[in-house]
Amino acid sequence: MGRTRSILMWVVVALVSIVPLVAAANSPLLAWRDPIYILAGFAGVAGLVLLLLQPLLAAGLLPGLSRARARRMHRVFGLSLIVAILVHVAGLWITSPPDMIDALLLASPTPFSIWGVLAMWTAFAALALAALRGRLPLRPRHWRYLHMTFAALVVLGTVLHAVLIDGTMETASKSALCTATLVAALAAVWRIRSQYGHAAAKPADKTVR
């Protein structure tokens, strides 16, 4: 990748990540919210930003990073994502326990709550799978595809959760971040499948006729 393209990609990633946070921080709706609710909301936005970076790191799509460094950052950001989810849920629980109980029981009348909870549990499953890597009776290829499937479901559920909420996030920047996250996830799946697809191919038939 050329230097100009590398710089352009970093600029795009930075803008798509930072602008939604700045826009949310300047939302007039924050004037009527408790500090804990605001913290929970920003934890959710930060989690969405981390979801943009995670597939890019996993597939080595961020220029200038070695594969080893990208993987280390992927692990650190993965744990950071779990922390962001816990802060998001804990803050909303403190401010509105009945709504969170309905959401966790998948009984909420608001669809965005259902998608958020499903994404949360899938993220926990992806974390457990990563923590137990090497101890599960799974071949590396199968583990990789399962982890990738969980990650893709987290992205899908989180994006639907964010899009359906009409809250402090500004609409245009939120749409850009959600779109970029979906594109990053699809690009990562394509890249990883391309890299490891050949290793999974069956050997040629050498039967003597």
The CATH number that applies at residue 189 is 1.20.120
pLDDT tens digit sequence for 108-122: 999 999 999 999 999
Within-domain flag for 205: no
Higher-pLDDT residue of 78, 4: 78
Stretch among 41-55, 70-84, 134-148, 175-189 having the lowest mean pLDDT: 134-148
Higher-pLDDT residue of 192, 11: 11
Quote the tokens at residue 192: 């990883």
Quote the CA–CA distance of 124 and 143 in Å, as a whole number. 15
Give the H/E segment covering residue 179. Answer: helix 171-200
Query: How far is the CA of 129 from the CAs of 21, 132, 140, 150, in angstroms?
Result: 30, 5, 12, 9
The per-residue pLDDT for 1 is 58
Within-domain flag for 203: no
Within-domain flag for 74: yes
Please check whether residue 43 is in contact with residue 88, taking contact to mean a CB–CB distance below 8 angstroms: yes
How many distinct structural domains can be found in the chain? 1
Query: For 163, how many CA atoms within 13 A lie in the half-sphere containing its CB?
Result: 15
pLDDT tens digit sequence for 144-196: 999 999 999 999 999 999 999 988 899 999 999 999 999 999 999 999 888 77
* pLDDT of 201 over the 80 cut: no
Quote the CA–CA distance of 39 and 189 in Å, as a whole number. 32
Query: How far is the CA of 101 from the CAs of 32, 91, 96, in angstroms?
Result: 23, 13, 9
Contacts for 160 with CB less than 8 Å, ≥ 6 apart? 111, 112, 115
> Range of 95's domain?
3-197
Within-domain flag for 144: yes
- Model pTM? 0.89
